Structure 1
Amino acid sequence: MHWTPGRTAAGLAATVSIVGLAPGAAHGAADIKATLSYQCATASGLQKATVRISGNAPATGIPGKPLRIGPVTVTVTGGEGTTGLLERTTGGGQAGGIITLSVTAGQAGGDHVDAQWPPLLVTSADPAAVSATGQVPSVTTAAGGAVTWRVRDLVITPVGSGRPVKCTADKEGVLATVPVRGAAGAPPGTAGNPAASDRARRAATGPVRLVEDLPPCDPKPEWTWNPDPDLQMPDPPPGSTPNSETAYDPACGRLALTANILKADAATLTEGMASLHYSAGTWMHSDLNYLRIDNFGTVAVRPATATTLGFGFLPTAATSEIRQEGLANISGITSPPGSPGGPGPDRAIAKSKANLRVTEIKANGVTVPVGARCGTATPVNLTVHRDLGRQSIYDPGLYTGTATIPRFARCGVGEDISPLLTASVSGPGNTVEVNQSGLCFLGHNDGRPCVPGPIANTAWTVKPGGTITATATGVTIGDIDTTSMITCATSKITMDADLSHRQGRIAAITDFSFDGCTDLDGVPYEVSVLPYRDRRFSGTRYDPATGSALLNTKMRLRIKGADGCTADIGNGAAPPHERVQNLNAVYDNQTRTLHMLDFSNFVSMWVNSSSGCSGWQRQSAGTAGILIGLNILDYTETGIYTLDPEQTITGPTP
């Protein structure tokens, strides 16, 4: 676990430099230099920045052997008068936050793949420069041929509630090209046949893969659900039926863990491996379409060392690690689309306990003895959540939550330094993100090794971003079962896209309104979108062939007619269950329009409760439900919103 406290700074900074060390790389090293121009969306507006990338890379490589550049150091320079990069200047040249670079790697004739560079920790910032440092993954080729790293956009994200600064490259830049021996000459049987030669070169090049240097995956057959009272899930609805006889699947998944230490104003990063019993038990309630799938397992992460201003003033290098205590409980809770009555949006909850250990501290270059048992006095209780949308927990995705770091104990040799660590680190409000890869299943691989997929690619982009106003006319809300329909003259959505899209978050919804609404008889109706925590559009899937982005949002409506009819519309659940519904929306990059109805996969709403209504009644399972954006009389689409300013929304490709 990295500890890199710092504070934030204002101003776009001076240079971006990448220093590449190549452990194990033979035949010397070569200088890499590149200069890129960027446009950065800061709090004071769009500003120019120059990015210079320099450092070392191995001069040559060998097929099957890793090519490494890194650790990586990044420094950014803006134009004259640039402001708003990390919001607060700091004394001592320290800053808190991360810089995320979009980097790909590939060989000539082959596809470039996401190089999966993790966020880099900001280590210093002042009005003129912001720098970040961290390790990056190596790549390995299956055959000869030059490997090229290419860099595009970057995002600078401060610790806490500060707004990320998104910087868009004017053009893609080449970071480094390293020849891999074995590429010379045409493959056998292709001389004089350019087409055959090209096909053979592509086949010989093979994939570029990331080197796995993570703890092993080892699910134990004797594992069972952790009975710790602190790790139990929300109670299922009354009448739900358990099934603990489910045959589980042993599974493995890669993880990237990011934590923001509130008291230190710092970001921490590490990677690891999850070992799981997948689908080891279920709870079901068929009338409410409730399903809870229980899973459990362990997470092992790599220790890491980072440099900070420890104890408030000394340059300090701290090595720490997280050790899970017992098993973690993870549940996927679903309410399938197509039926009313679900208890809430599809989500996953993971609960665990872990001990935070400090193994080494160096203050101002001098080793500070910490002893063999230095760590938190009690385990850290951690609960993280994930919006599943149309996914399962075996798909890649991001979990988020907060944790309280307990006081430290047993630290120091001869002198107790536990109070100093407690004062510097311990306390509540520390945010945690766990980015999970797709799971692989040990029992489904025909005896072959189980290799988890890459860490979830959450590289969504919204350009130009900022404050967005979406407007539509003649939007309908129709109940197919009772043929009740309300038509609203206008509807407006106000969104804020100045947030990190790394988590698939597209834009926060600050206001959603319907005006001039009447039913089929001309009776005036008020239509209100009820408040809900963290209202936003999230990216679910992007199709580069059509330019369409499938989005997800949560909604609950209240309608109130002049005829005395009042209805609460959501997922059809009765109180006290959560009654918001998960809805699909589609953004069309070709027409620059937002569609509140996904014609490829209708997701309905249902009446949670109503009074004084001839229509708008609660329905039983299996009914068609209520659709926003579809005229139920002629089945034409009505929920088409025009965005101002126009946006381009892209996401990870399948």
Structure 2
Amino acid sequence: MNTRTPVKGGRRPVRLASAAAAALVAGLLAGNGSAAGESGDPGTFSYDCGPESGPTRATVEVAAHLPASAETGKPVQPGPVTVQVGLARGDLARLLPDGADAVLSTASLAVEVSQNDQSATAMWADLAAPSTPVPADGDVRLVHTGAVPTVTVGAAGDVTLTAGELKLGLQSATPTTGGQSTPKAVPLVCRPVAGQDLRLGTVPVADSSGSEPSATPGTGKPSAPGGEKGPKGGAGLTVQPRATAAGTGKCPTVIPQGKADPSDAPKAPPGATPGEFDLPGSPGCAYALGAANISKLNGAMIINDPKHNPVTISVLAVTHSSVRSSVQPGGLYLRLDSLADLRLPDAESTFLTFGFEPVTAKVRFETGPVTISTGNVGTSVFSVISFKQSLRLYDVKVNGTPLDVGGSCRTAKPYKVVLNGGAKYTNVFYGGTLDGTIDIPEFSGCGTNGEDLDPLFTASISGPGNSIEMNQGTTCIPDSPDNLCPPNIPVLPGSGAAGR
């Protein structure tokens, strides 16, 4: 996907399919008191929120940069996207425990997507705001950022996005003492005040042949495909991926531990220092399938084979953000970091060693903490997954005859895996494909009874230029309103088969 800077007065689109949509800092959000424009200017809306403690009025600013135009059959990706919620300090105090001087917040905004006579709802869910101090008086402004799904249409005509119901989860960020449990999030359901223009923007869509949409007789409005009224959320208007309300049981199986290491992600260009924010993260799980080529053996190995009970990886989505606005020196920079615990099942592969000897072996992956970093540098999109890994070989057979390699036949040291996806990897919530190459170190500990098999495996496997491709499906977040559960099993790279 190419990213292009819009020319004033032109129709050139900017496609910002960032890994968790991008963020604009509070300085960009000087609301204009009206609906948002196509350029990404924020719209300011009034919402009434109804907790059990009494009604609360909120000011909501939504900044959603939309492409200047789009084509049928191609995903439309909103971004950068920010939802800022202003609450009176007194209203917020009623919702938080006594003594709370900082608040964490999550937000989910329902956005109606309409074209011609069709409509569907896109959930801008799991938007997270960093720990925000509660002032002594005045308003509290919570700036939420997060993942935004794409929209694909099958017919020409204007696509309009309209803000709807907003759900907040407010939680004290003040450290507890005396062994007290962490306060639970307080839900807050907010609905737009009647009489407002809630449009976030409009994207003109032309069909892939470049022809203009036809008009419905007597109305002057573009017609739905075939001139018939399409069903709500029908085939001609698709929010991808579709969410379901089904649960997945125990998900995630573990909570990833540690701290993200974004050292392999692009750095911010020289200029103002980005703001750094630690976030609580959203625990979930996803399927990730892969294929690795062993260069010396000219063969491939399937990772987490979808035909043999694939397992999910555990994810803690968006634990840190690094943000610099586009108006600051150096321009826009956004990086969102997530953690994952990658416990892959053992793989089994057969290769022709030295070109003629069939060797079958089982491979165990020993993987360290995984960092998923996504974002924008200006209008360029990046996505990087990195981790360290070791391989252990066992149950080796040469031409059907067992070869005892012992219990410690492994790479002599861990090797670094860095996978890049660009815009092919949408974000940590919606997944995508990434690829890279790895250098496999020499082997050690192979052989028994004094037999040293290290040189055999080092000569046949170790070396640079081993390609790997991974495809991650959607991430199920059980506690999210739009939880994407159960997670889908994506296409196995290189298979051409459909996911399930």
TM-score range (shorter-chain normalised) is 0.3 to 0.5
Q: Tell me which of the two structures has the higher relative contact order, counting C-alpha pairs closer than 8 angstroms and 6 or more residues apart.
A: 2
